[in-house]
Structure 1
Amino acid sequence: MRIKNVLWLFALMLAVHTAGFGQGSQKKARFNVLAIAEGGGHHVAYSKEAKIWLNKLAAEENLKIDFLENTDKINAEFLSNYQLFIQLDFVPYAWKPEAVAAFEKYITEGRGGWIGFHHATLLGEFDGYKIWPWFSDFMGGIRYKNYIADFAAATVIVEDNKHPVMKGIPSTFFVKQEEWYVYDKSPRPNVEVLASVDENTYTPDSKIKMGDHPVIWSNLNVKARNVYIFMGHSPMLFESTDYKRLFKNAIFWAAEK
């Protein structure tokens, strides 16, 4: 009898432990993230590495991240499931009309946060598509003009070290390889600049320069928390502790209501 009682107690304890584990493993995510990245082109290596890093972060921080390669599913109802929209490396053209309307509403009404990288400022006439005027205004009223096709290393200078996105980031940090864009003008008059690139540090040097060249900024004229981070071409970026900290800071700041 005594042995049976011990076995029964052991079985009960095991059942309680298993039930508790199941509840913990199905714990609701802190917040949901939608990340969109192009499925082809020469930026795929960056996006692939970004997805690996994001999935690792999601597991560590109890986040739920869904990935898309086009805008077919995007509408107001779909976006309502997400507290943060990450435009990993995705162009601001060829979006479905319903996705355009939903995204503009999401940002202007502050229904969620946004982080954009690299291709998000490829603003102009490309692949037979006209410029998206709203998105150009969102990015500070700029238009893409040129880029350093053969790449260059450079030093980025932090201009606002008190902004939460820049927490723990040194006053300058080095980017090993990037195809730095230039625009028809600086977005500075229309945005809050957090960091800029020192064009005098381009290695190798390049004649493709802007002068005043912001590379990280936020638009304060919309309700959504948002930050654009130009650097997002090479998977080598994920070898940088500073870049990963910047990315993580941006996620938790932009997702906060």
Structure 2
Amino acid sequence: MKNKALVSFCLSCLLACVSLSNPAFGQNKKPAFRVVAIAEKDGGVHAPFVAAAKEWLRQQATAHNFTIDYIETTDPINDTFLANYQVFIQLNYPPYRWTDGAKAAFIRYIQEGKGGGWIGFHHATLLGEFDGFPMWPWFSEFMGGIRYVNYIPGFAKATVNVEAKAHPAMKGLPPSFEIEKEEWYSYNKSPRPNVNVLATVDEATYSPDSKIKMGGDHPVIWSNERMKARNIYIFMGHHPDLFKNEAFKTLFRNSIFWAAGHSNRNTD
């Protein structure tokens, strides 16, 4: 009996030492912040990008101690729901098919900036009349007053040039970087007069070349600083190979921490 008691005591001491030396052992740490991402159910041609994004976000959440939840429609969105999150990611969801209640809550979330930030990708500037839905005028203004015009359906490689090198979301990025496969939306005008442009695509570098161009000034990453919430739009977001692109991953990671109001971290 004495031997069993001694063994039990030694095991208890060992477990206590392991728990103290490894914070992940035993009680979990409180998350640094909470993230919610919206992506259309099934996702169609964007499903592979969403799948790759979810895996990468899982890794980031584990490495950097934040949580991430997913929704597939705007039905759950209201003030109470949004209050649970410090970052809202529009991962793959267009600015239509939103419920009226979700629209109102999201507008307050962005305009009043009550503790939350926003990251929008790709589809967030699909602004116009689609699938029988009218354009959401407020969202168009949020994106700089633009309207979607066209896209490169066959994809093109192109060079993205960083403009706002001092912005926290651009930390650690090279002056320019290549995106291998993207649709490169064109708009009825540049959003530049109404937003802080962080990066543009050089249309002269389209490969293969395309006639679908805006004619020079073509922003692809920007922030609307008229809104109180930290926000950033990143046009790229169609192809899963983006998660093999170090510049894109750095941009996405920086944006998460900036939107959440935390310091940037540039490690995987």
2:160 alignment partner, SS class? strand
1:86 alignment partner, SS class? strand
Query: Per the alignment, do residues 5 and 38 of structure 1 end up closer, same or farther by CA in structure 2, a change over 3 Å counting?
Result: closer
2:96 alignment partner, SS class? coil
Q: Which amino acid aligns with 2:13?
A: M
* Ranges in structure 1 where 5+ consecutive residues have no aligned partner: none
Could you report, residue by residue, the CA deviation over 1:148-191 in whole angstroms, capped at 9, with x for unpaired residues? 11111100000111111111100000000000100010000000
The residue number in structure 2 matching 1:29 is 31
Could you report, residue by residue, the CA deviation over 1:189-211 in whole angstroms, capped at 9, with x for unpaired residues? 00000000000000000011002
Could you report, residue by residue, the CA deviation over 1:26-55 in whole angstroms, capped at 9, with x for unpaired residues? 211100000011122211111110000001
Q: Which amino acid aligns with 1:156?
A: V
Deviates more, 1:25-34 or 1:218-227: 25-34
Distance of 1:15 and 1:88 partners within structure 2: 41
Q: Which amino acid aligns with 1:16?
A: A
The residue number in structure 1 matching 2:13 is 13
Deviation at 1:72? 1.2
Q: Cα RMSD (Å) of the superposition?
A: 1.7
Q: How does 1:1-257 map to 2 (within 5 A)?
A: 3=3, 6-14=6-14, 16=16, 24-39=26-41, 40-111=43-114, 112-211=116-215, 212-256=217-261
Q: Identical aligned pairs, as a percentage?
A: 59
Could you report, residue by residue, the CA deviation over 1:40-91 in whole angstroms, capped at 9, with x for unpaired residues? 2211111110000001100100110001111111111011000000001110
Query: Per the alignment, do residues 58 and 151 of structure 1 end up closer, same or farther by CA in structure 2, a change over 3 Å counting?
Result: same
Q: Which amino acid aligns with 1:208?
A: I
Q: Give the TM-score taking structure 1 as reference length.
A: 0.95
Deviation at 1:12? 3.3
State the aligned residue count. Answer: 257
Q: Which amino acid aligns with 2:230?
A: R
Deviation at 1:139? 0.3
* Ranges in structure 2 where 5+ consecutive residues have no aligned partner: 263-268
Q: Which amino acid aligns with 1:27?
A: K
- Spell out structure 1 runs of 4+ moving beyond 6 A: none
Q: Give the TM-score taking structure 2 as reference length.
A: 0.91
Query: Per the alignment, do residues 19 and 165 of structure 1 end up closer, same or farther by CA in structure 2, a change over 3 Å counting?
Result: closer
Q: Which amino acid aligns with 2:82?
A: L
Deviation at 1:223? 0.3
Distance of 2:213 and 2:77 partners within structure 1: 36
